[in-house]
Structures are given as structure tokens and as C-alpha cells.
Amino acid sequence: MAINLELPKKLEPTIDQARQAALQIFRPISRKYDLAEHEYPVELDTLANLYNGLAAAGQAGAGASGGRGDEKKDRPEGYVANGGNMQSVLNSMWASYGDVGLMLSIPFQGLGNAAIAAVATDEQLEAMGGEVWASMAITEPSFGSDSAAVTTTATRDGDEYVINGEKIFVTAGSRASHIVVWASVDRSLGRAAIKSFVVPRDHPGVTVARLEHKLGIKASDTAVIRFEDCRIPATFLLGSPEVDVKKGFGGVMQTFDNTRPMVAAMAVGVGRAALEELRTLLEDAGVEIDYDRPAADQPAAAAEFIRLESDWEAAYLLSLRAAWMADNKMPNSLEASMSKAKAGRTGTDVTNKAVELASTLGYSERTLLEKWARDSKILDIFEGTQQIQQLIIARRVLGKSSSELK
């Protein structure tokens, strides 16, 4: 099936809404909350109320809560959807154009919401109390990118699961109302026994141990969370409770097919911000960027800008493709990893080169270029590092399993 990546007019209000939030709400307070690490951005409450109102009217919010959309409707042959995934990707992109850390801090738009939106039943949502702001807890002190190495356990006890373990680098972990926790229901069965559970943050047995001090996205809280004999209803398990050794843990891993394009979009957003600022600074310095002349015939700064912009365009299109495929019920694991790998690497390249080409202005706090360079680094790391994405892509292209290609 051919993919037309020209955005439909119905998505223009989505883009305009997020762009206005980026320029009028995020940018003016960006430096303030970069310097006031861990202080909650109260300005986001107003924005959250706006998004919740739009969601009630049938429009997606700024982050990961989209995706339930019209998936249950019958679709005629040849029908092309641009639904919750595309809206979430575009919102993430343009909100990050303002500030990545603030985008990750918008109430009720946590990364865990993507897992809930993709898997949770209406009955589960009702049991959770309706409106949920969910962070995602996967990484542990003993592992980073190898999600199959989960040691946190969830032991069945009647109508409950008892969760024990420690999670690190939980984005919005101290602010979100709920936490999507990856845990093993039977360590002897390996990765197939890894399931995801929704745990209320204020639940007995849940402790926010500390908040991390970070290089970037300082407006976003990143927590260490401990689970000690934490009992939750068995109905709070997302997906099937059955352990299928043959299938492995593909079910929980499918969450990444939704979240990786979103993270790619974040990198595209901050990359666009850096490119626009850099273009202004270069033009003010008398450097003309001419698309009608070969890059080799232009000043080195202009040639480098054209290279960065072309890489950015590729990352942008890959992100849209991954989201489009998700909306149209096409397997997109390969494309999700491709978008994340390309955008993550491009985001760091664009923002760091912008600092370099802007010289003393880029390295100072007179612009936001140095902040965007710091913020962009995490986008090449979380939700699967650059190396992990390339490994997944290689497995898909070569038709190899995880045991065959490590």
C-alpha cells in the first residue's frame, strides 16, 4: 500500500494547538524550569485542562493518551486512517518544539498512557478510576536496554498480585497518578512471563525513593521507585495473564511500537527548533542558505545547515510513517525502531552542531541552543538506545530471532 505523507487538513488544528502551546506557554518558562530542577511547572495545569477538554470532544491530547480512537469501527476496503497515533506523534513533535522536559511533564500525558490506551479494557479503565496519568517503569539497577532482564516480580495470591522490586529512571514517576510496571509472574519461565501492571503511585508498598539530577529535561522528574509487598487487584494486569512460552513477551514489547515513534517525534520537534534558531543566527551573520546552488559551492556553515536539514527531513518522514502504519493496523515494529534510531541520532547531531555553528552565542544561555543540545541526548537513549534500535532493525531485515542475533 502506498503511503501519502502529506498531512490531511483535519490535523491542522492539532498542529496549530500544539505549536501555540510551544511558543506561548513552553518557551517563556523553559529556562525557568531548567534552572529550577524538580519544581513542578504549575503553568501546565491550565494546559492539561485544555487538553482534557479537547479529549472529551474527541481530539487527542499532547502526548501518549491517544490511540483508542476508531479502532473498533469497521473500515471499508482502501480506507486510510489518520487517528490517535498520528495525532499523538504530531502533538509530541510540536510540544517538544517548545520544550521536551515540559512536554514530558504535562499531566495525564505520560508514556505509560500509551500502554494503557493500547491494551486496557473499558472495565479496567473504570476500575482504575477513569482518568489516569501513567508513567512507565521498566529499567532496573541491574539492566538498561535489555528489557527481558526484568527481575521485579509479581506473584499471584488469590485475586491479587504482590509486586516486589526496584525501578529506576521512571519519567514523571513522582508526579503521575499511576505507574505501568513491568514484572515477571514466573522467573523460571524467562521473558515470556514478563507482564505489565498498572499500580497507583500512592498505593501501599510503593515508595518514591529519590529523584535524579540530570543533564537535560530538568523540568521532567525522573524517579527511583521501590515496590515492597505491593498488592494490587489481578484485574490491573494489562493484557492476558496467560504465559505463552512460544510467543515470548511480544505482547508487552508491542507497547514500544506506539511509544518509539512518539520519542522520535520529540527529537524531530527539538531538532526543528534548533534549525530555525540556527538559520536566524546564520542569516544575521550574513550567511546565505541557497537551495538553488550545490552545497559544495556555498560557505561551510550553509553547506552544513543543508546537510542537517536533509537529515531532519528524513527523521520527520520516518516518524510519520511509523505512526501512520500504527493507525492503519499495519505491523510497524521495524518502522518504529527506524524512526527512533534516525530521529534520536539526528536530534543530537542537529542540536550539537547548532551550538557549534552559533559559536559563543550557542554555548551561552542567551539562546536556548545549549539547553536543546542537553535535552536532546535523552531522546537517543530512552525507549531503547540507538544501539538497541539498530539491533532490532537488523533482526527484522535479516529475519533473525533475538537468540540468533545478539
Is position 383 annotated as part of the catalytic site? yes
In this structure, what C-alpha cell is assigned to residue 367?
539562546
Kindly give the pairing relationship between strand 222-233 and strand 178-184. unpaired
Q: Which of 12, 126, 383, 404 is catalytic?
A: 383
3-state class of 6 per DSSP?
coil
Residues with catalytic function: 383
